[in-house]
Amino acid sequence: MSRFWERASQGFSYLIIIASTVMLGWGLLGFLEYFTGLAPLMPLQNATFPSGTQFVHWLVITLSGGAFLIGYFSRWSYTPVAMVALFASLATLCSVQTFDFMENASRYSDFARECAYYVIISIYLFRSKRMQDHFGRITVANLQEG
């Protein structure tokens, strides 16, 4: 692998760590506001979401951020698999929010962009040499043994 691609891969892995940290913090702040009404930075609740949808929203966001960070720093070999499952949950929830509740003009392009991010990150987690070296290779044999 050329030096450029090694640096790009390293940078992308750092971006995922930063994004996961933001997701974890955003989810925890969302839960704080959801349960107490306190919004230390800014209001995070979406008034168009029913209460149950809002709860699931914060739960999946918090789990996604936390799972990647814990999995990454513990080198848990199933982190890529867990992230694909969580990304699928986020995309499903986002589709419900986009098509059933949201009213902003950019909701469809935001939804498409978010799903594209999930696909790009998932491919990177499974296919990049850096992530394979970090987590180990995930193969069908590994999944059957686990």
pLDDT digits (tens, 9 = 90+) for 55-104: 999 999 999 999 999 999 999 999 999 999 999 999 999 999 999 999 99
How far the first Cα of the chain sits from its last, in Å, is 31
Q: Model pTM?
A: 0.89
Residue 143 has pLDDT above 60, yes or no: no
Where is pLDDT greater, at 145 or 51?
51
Please state the domain extents for the chain.
Answer: 3-145
Q: Which helix (H) or strand (E) holds 133?
A: helix 129-135
**pLDDT tens string 49-64:** 999 999 999 999 999 9
Residue listed under structure tokens 């760590």: 17
Measured CA to CA, the distance from residue 40 to residue 142 in angstroms comes to: 44
In this structure, are residues 62 and 24 in contact, taking their beta carbons and an 8 Å threshold? yes
For residue 140, the model assigns a pLDDT of: 52
